[in-house]
Structure 1
Amino acid sequence: MATAASLTLDVWRNDELYEFPLRVRGPDLTGVAMRAQVRLAPDTPGAPLVDLALVTNGNAEGIRLAGVSLVDGVFTNDVRIRLNKSTRQALPYAGELGDAALLALAFQIAGRTRLFGNMRILAHAIDSDAAPTSRPASYGAQVSNAPSAGATLTIGTDDVVEVTIDGADLVSLSVVRAEDARDEAIAAQAATIAIRDEFAVLVDGRRLPKLKTAGAKYHAVYSSERLADGYSGPLIQAVASDASPRLAMGLGDEGVALSTVRALRTGDVARVSRIYDQSGAGRDLTQTSFAYMPAIREDVLIGGKLPILFDGRRTNAGDTAQARGMLASHSLSRTDCTFVAVIDPSVSAVPQIFWEYYINANGSGTLIDINTNLDGANFTDSANGGITAGTKPKIPSSPFVMVICLSPGGSTISINGAAKTVGSAFAPGTLARFALGYGPSAGDNFNANFQFGAAVFIDKAVTDEDADAISYELMARFGITPPVANLVIIGDSIHEAVKSTYTLGQKALASNGFNRSISVYNLSAAGVRLSQLYARRTQFDGQVVAAGIPNVALLAAGINDINNGVTAADLYAQQTSYVTWLKANGYAKVLISTLLPETVVDKKTVIDAYNALVRSNTASAEGVVDYAADAVMGAATAPNDVTLYADKLHPVTLGYRFLSPILEAAVNMALAA
């Protein structure tokens, strides 16, 4: 049985960065050898034109296993093939001016060829100054076909290749490890299997479970995925520009399709003007102002699903009357109800993700402002004070399902099916309006970005059995699995991603490359100094240590200290104290990042001295996240490039694409050690 497939790679010769993502479904490839070579043609003697080996550094040329995930018992390996610009420019030219050079490519896993075919080096108008005018005629490297169908090669609409390996020939430690991991995952989820068997396990084509709570029904359901049983209408309405017509998406599909987003987008995103209510009652979430609409983009996902993206930066000075979110009118007269949400926020301090406005029996209004502050979730009721009492549940900045039951007998909150936090009694009255996103805000204020997967209203406070069933179903639909490690990011505005539009900045981009399922708590905040972070370490860092799994801390602050006159030596001394404290308080691994470059000469001198101390690692951290060593983002003149930095300090989304592999590699290496 043949287990190879043909593939043609089209590669720009002169782009600064080329990294090809390859999804390989089958055995866990952790520790498995991978290599690739490029020649003029198969059997061309001598050294190959390109010889790619397995690497772990996200900035190095070669083949890197950026992450492994387990979905429905099958491993999906995120393999990245990276070619440096200097390598591509050194490849031969052939044919007439403007012709692509046709070369031969082969890719092996564990010594067996899995992919073979052509690599076409495309002609380019940029940086072609040294391109030869006289070239040999094209020859060799003919198109090949797979000898028989044994491996399934799927090239998706996003140009990402998915290979399903047929056959169990990788009988090695990796297979044993895969089986062990699968067994551990099954054991860890044993407590949920009974519920998920009794109700419909949510995969594409399945729906929210039927409610067992007496008299309860789904009042409203919002998502870019089809969740409500019996609903066949569109999921969202999107628009390319303010003047263009609105387009209903998801009609008849299980979720919003990537191809429709690509066809409609302007730049990186398509704007979302409406999220349809899948209950069929017409309580749609809408935003009429194009400037304030959320978005959807093809490279930001929750568990492979396209979420709605709310941009905390989308605010205009003085526009205090404009809500930066979506609003729906409701009429739900209850003394109890349930609210469920699937959310992935950029940081663990997210002011006002939602708000709900209730009209009480006496006609007065009650505004519930649902916040996720650093010290835990607080659900502020303007009439009765905070809903939660005692220990507040900590909010991760990785995807989670939140279930809130409001009841006169006591309100409860749970995160990802964990134990409920019992709060104060609450009687909401009549739900009049629901807002998803942020309320009016004056000035250019920053609120953290977040991805929205789903929101569900139920007209009664449901039983724990129903709450767990809904939670686990939505976790399955959006690929939210029990974490095997915990990453806590302790930083400033760089890691808060204050200039990253319609994404979650580095945290989201890096999450795709972690080798394991990792929960993330991003405790970063704009303007904060390392000294301030250290002062509140017990209140924040000490409260998010996860039990039973490795905890990794990333110390990524310091620029605000330097801006306030702290010397390199004093800053690193404080980092050293911080490392010592973290290791004594539940963190098995601690990483320290270097600081990105600064164009002001005096600051540059201090930053360079500090980065040298970080690399010396006398603080005994388990690793250095060396952002400053990146050839693109760490270049002395990089802050002047507006395609990388918004204001000579804060990276934009493209900038985080260069930084994320560095964080991925450091975290993966720390957990593997």
Structure 2
Amino acid sequence: MSPVINVPKKLLLTHLGRVGRAAISVPATNLKAVYSVMKVAGWTGSCIRVQRALDSTQLDIGFAGNVVDKVAADTFAAGSALTIAKVYDQSGNGMDLVQATDANRPIFSALNEWAGIRPITFDTWPQSAVAKWLDTPVLAGLDRQAVSVYMMMVDHCPNQQNLIWEGFSDTGFATSNSFLLGSGGGLGVNFGSLIFNTFFPRSHLQAITTVCGGSNVRARFDGVERTFATGAISSSAIQGMRFGKSSLNNQYNSQNDVFCIAIYAQADAAAANLVVENALNASFNPDRASNTNWTYRLVEDGNSLMSGVGAASLQSAGWQGGFGRGPQGDVRAWEYYDMGLAGQTLATAYTNRARVLALSDVTKSKNVLHIIDPTNDIGVITYTSVADAQTGNTVSAQNLYNNYFLPYVVAAQAAGFTKIVTSTILPRTNFNVGAGNFRGDCRNYYNSLLTGGAGANGYVVADIGSISQLQNTADLSYFLPDGIHLTAAGYALVEAVRKPLEIA
């Protein structure tokens, strides 16, 4: 790979964002396409094309200095929402990202700004929104044994697995290349099979790289190489790529803020990876370029409130209005891990606690663990009576509290976590009180045990189960039609209760 030209100048920092930024400079050799909300050195065209909801009019948006001109975009929006119809390829190869259908377009929203830079946001909400994505044209000369894809991005939340990019083979198959953020904060690189999974923080803008060369696949986070088992990759042309929602599975919905994508027709080695990653970090995220340690660490573990169809702290509403972008605490001080697994119960979370407790870091000033409620444990049980739901069944409220929750608290304290937070359980359509399956009785009693035992056992309770707007599971303002999972507005209510306790 050729050396970088025009190395970015030292950046100035202000409370309003970074100013005086130089254009991005990345190696030109074998560069197929580059999409960025900061200008690439030498580019003289527009950044994106947006469409406003007001009248479906479109406008090309350029740069203010070297940053996408959000003021021009907002003036054009005239108070209505903006979607992105095109992202211009700044490599000069004309490989623009496009989406012809407005409902499937990512958004361009002030809610998602990072230090004054506004990203491309794939804001798909599972079960309640149309998936969002952008496609490249045919990427001539690119094959699966020689491709490197670099991204600057923030992931909102796993939903089973979120697709980031997907390559279409010459026969139309998308299974040939895909990069998935897996449930539980992991990452999967799929070249016919899932071959990699690890955990990484979701709290910050990150340089994430996938490299395919010969029969090997490599993945990197912020300049750190991760090891994993490799799988054979056949050599086949990539006709095009998709960023955002997967074509393979509707569950593979992307919820990410994407700031830059660079695609190379070569399998870069680690040293070459660092050249690109450091150039991107220097422009977007200089604190990560120097591997600055975050002051605090927040780890969350639990069931479907946490992962699967929805996660309160990392779904779009919470991310935009709470931890990720909001005024509560300094976002740059917190390293944030989502360890929940889709469909996981509190019982299995306790069984698998070692992977979570190992994340306690003695170098951090504060280690916080949020243990999510046992909704899934209760949701699969039919109790024979109120007493059975409260104290009798092996998955009764008392047994869940005594045998799984409290031991988890003790283990977390012993591991070094300085603060333990938990949530009370939200209502569900299939939780009956006083008759039927008696799940509602189990829920209510468990919640009373949580709140009653907090002081004596050294944990803090976020009483989301008492939020007044969330008592009616048929209210589609806050619940999805299944009467189980929340809408963005519902998660925003949860976030307002949870997040202050977690990061206080």
TM-score by length of 1: 0.59
Q: Aligned match of 2:94 in 282, 285, 290?
A: 282
CA contact (8 A) 1:239 1:246 kept: yes
Amino acid of the structure 1 residue aligned with 2:490: G
Aligned residue number for residue 36 of structure 1: none
Q: For the structure 1 residues 365 and 577, does the alpha-carbon distance in structure 2 shift closer, same or farther, using more than 3 Å as the test?
A: closer
Question: For the Cα contact (< 8 Å) 1:292–1:314, is it kept in 2?
Answer: no
| Aligned residue-pair number | 456
Secondary structure, counterpart of 1:660 in structure 2? helix
Structure 1 position 560 matched with structure 2 position 376: yes
1:381 counterpart = 2:194: no
Deviation (angstroms), 1:299: 0.9
Aligned pair in 2 of structure 1 residues 249, 364: CA closer, same or farther (>3 Å)?
Answer: closer
Distance in 2 (alpha carbons) for counterparts of 1:465 and 1:585: 36
Give the Cα–Cα distance (whole angstroms) in 2 for the partners of residues 234 and 503 of structure 1. Answer: 30
Superposed displacement of residue 435, structure 1: 0.9
Q: Does 1:620 align with 2:457?
A: yes
Q: Is the 8 A contact 2:125 2:131 kept in 1?
A: no
CA distance in 1, matches of 2:491, 2:175: 40
Distance in 2, Cα, partners of 1:422 & 1:331: 29
- 1:325 aligned to which of 121, 126, 133: 133
1:580 to 404, 410, 413: 410
Q: Equivalents in 2 of 1:654, 1:263: separation in Å?
A: 27
- 5+ residue gaps, structure 2, are 1-9, 382-394
Please tell me whether residue 454 in structure 1 is matched to residue 260 in structure 2.
yes
Contact 1:376–1:393 (CA under 8 A) maintained in structure 2: yes
Relative distance call for 1:544 and 1:379 in structure 2 (3 A) is: farther
| Distance across 1 between alignment mates of 2:42 and 2:134 | 25
User: Higher helix share goes to which structure?
Assistant: 2
Q: Residues 186-201 of structure 1 correspond to what in structure 2 (within 5 A)?
A: none
Q: Flag the 1:72–1:617 CA change in 2: closer, same or farther, 3 A.
A: farther
The equivalent of 1:82 in structure 2 is: none
Rate the CA distance shift 1:358–1:497 in 2: closer, same or farther, 3 A: closer
Cα contact 1:287–1:326 (8 A) shared by 2: yes
Report which stretch shifted further, 423-432 or 515-524.
423-432
Q: Matched residue of 1:551: which SS?
A: strand
- Partner amino acid for 1:663? R
How far does residue 411 in structure 1 lie from its aligned partner after superposition?
4.4
The 5 A counterparts of 1:205-354 are 205-211=21-27, 216-223=29-36, 225-241=37-53, 244-251=56-63, 254-263=66-75, 269-313=81-125, 324-329=132-137, 330-333=139-142, 335-348=145-158, 350-354=161-165
Partner of 2:420: 590
2:253 aligned counterpart, secondary structure: coil
Asked whether the equivalents of residues 201 and 335 of structure 2 are also in contact (C-alpha less than 8 Å), the reply is yes
1:112 paired residue number: none
* Cα drift, residue 447 of structure 1: 3.3
The Cα shift of 1:277 comes to 0.8
For 1:314 and 1:661, locate their aligned partners in 2 and report how far apart those are by CA, in whole Å.
21
Deviation at 1:216, TM superposition (A): 2.5
Please state whether the residue corresponding to 1:657 is helix, strand or coil. helix
Q: 1:251 to 1:315 in 2, by over 3 A?
A: farther
The CA RMSD measured in Å over matched residues stands at 4.0
Matches for 1:602-641 after TM superposition, within 5 Å: 602=434, 605-615=441-451, 616-617=453-454, 620-628=457-465, 633-634=467-468, 637=471, 639=473, 641=475
Deviation at residue 283 of structure 1 after TM alignment: 0.6
| Percent sequence identity over aligned pairs | 20
Segments of 5+ residues of structure 1 without an aligned counterpart are: 1-70, 77-161, 165-201
The answer on whether the counterparts of 2:244 and 2:253 sit within 8 Å (CA) in structure 1 is no
Structure with the higher fraction of residues in strand conformation: 1
The letter for the 1-side match of 2:340 is: S
Letter of the structure 2 residue corresponding to residue 431 of structure 1: I
Stretch moving more, 616-625 or 298-307: 616-625
Deviation of the 1:247 alpha carbon: 1.9
CA contact (8 A) 1:241 1:290 kept: no
- Please name the residue that 1:506 is paired with: 318
Question: Secondary structure, in 3 states, of the residue corresponding to 1:461?
Answer: coil
Q: Per chain length, whose mean CA-contact separation is higher, i.e. which structure has more relative contact order (CA < 8 Å, sep 6+)?
A: 2
Instruction: Go from structure 1 to structure 2 and tell me whether the alpha carbon gap of 1:268 and 1:394 turns closer, same or farther (over 3 Å shift).
Output: farther
Secondary structure class of the residue paired with 1:296: coil
Cα deviation, 1:258-298, whole Å, max 9, x if unaligned, reads 44444455987422221111112111111112222222222
State which drifts further: 262-271 or 447-456: 262-271
CA contact (8 A) 2:32 2:91 kept: yes
**Cα distance in 2, alignment partners of residues 528 and 642 from structure 1:** 25
Which residue number corresponds to residue 657 of structure 1? 492
